[in-house]
Amino acid sequence: MITATLNLGGRIYGNAVLLLILTTLFWGGNAVAGRLAIGEVSPMVVVALRWILVAAIMAGYFWPRIVAEWPLMRPYLGRMVLMAVFGFVAFNSLFYIAAHSTTAVNLGIIQGSMPVFVLIGSVLAFGTKARPLQVLGILVTLIGVVLVASQGNLQVLLTLSVNPGDGIMLVACFLYSAYTLALRSRPQVSGLVFFAVLSIIAAVTSLPALGYEIATGTAQWPTPKGWLIVLFIALFPSCLSQIFFMRGVELIGPARAGVFINLVPIFAPILAVLVLGEPFRWHHGAALALVLGGIYLSERRAAGQ
């Protein structure tokens, strides 16, 4: 299936825009799946099972290539472990924990903060020069994220109190942004092979948290509906979206690819309203406008263009 998807005459795998749009659509679906998982399967069980399934699929397809390209990846092993832990295990763990105390709409909109973190990280880590419009775009986007995190309540802002789930989701976004920046200097091997190894690392490093959940008696193994949710998450938000995102970064770079993450705040609320029947309130619409407006400003090039 993976091979068939990626071999459509190169039309999909060579089209960064299409790949990144599909990526964000799948991630928007992940916000809905995170909410659907409540009561059907516990967070750490979801994380462990999703990466075990993805690792099994990727290793089954690409094991000979993993062995052949391993000498090129071995010097980067420590960095790859950190990338898998932060970008795959920690991000997903916090994501599903956050889903227990916030809405799918909020989960999707707050993911709009990722490009902001990526741009700030690019400036600090790589010396990228931020244009005035980019700085303005950052501020506008942050206002949108704060608006949804405070649920449009001025009193919440004055008391500096936010929904715990929204705060957890912000931390998750920061971690995934660090992973995105790290992709800039990944080993020069096939993206599919690199992702296969990261998924294997993620499967292994997700086990301690699963063990903790089991030891504390909070683990819930999937119900029949829970298995369908886990399979969806493993196939689309975990496997295909990560491959597509990595390829998108490879084609157009992390900064431009990161911009597309702002489509998640569009897809997630639409899917949440359609699938979950969640309400779409005024502060969600305002936050969407601010997030998209901020990214438009940050992506504008020189004056006159």
pLDDT band at 224 (very low <50, low <70, confident <90, very high): very high
- Helix (H) or strand (E) holding 303, with range, is none
Cα three-residue angle 2-4-10, rounded to 5 degrees = 105
- pLDDT value of residue 82: 94
Rounded to two decimals, the pTM is 0.76
Amino acid at 26: F
- pLDDT value of residue 304: 41
What is the mean predicted confidence (pLDDT) over 22-42? Answer: 88
Rounded CA gap, 191 and 182, in Å?
14
Exposed/middle/buried for residue 263 (C-beta within 10 Å: 0-12, 13-18, 19+): buried
The residue assigned the tokens 């008391």 is 159
pLDDT band at 221 (very low <50, low <70, confident <90, very high): very high
For 57-66, give one letter per residue: b (16+ CB within 10 A) or e. bbeebbeeeb
Choose the weakest-confidence range: 27-41, 93-107, 251-265. Answer: 251-265
CA nearest to 170, candidates 58, 94, 237, 256 = 94
Rounded CA gap, 272 and 279, in Å?
8
Q: What is the pLDDT of residues 39-97, one digit of tens each?
A: 899 989 999 999 999 999 999 989 999 999 999 999 999 999 999 999 899 988 888 88
Question: Is the pLDDT score of 302 beyond 50?
Answer: no
What token pair was written down for 101? 């105390």
Percent of the chain with pLDDT over 90: 30
What is the mean predicted confidence (pLDDT) over 122-151? Answer: 70
What token pair was written down for 96? 């599903």
- pLDDT value of residue 15: 80
* Comparison of pLDDT for 91 and 114, the residue scoring more: 91
What token pair was written down for 209? 């948290």
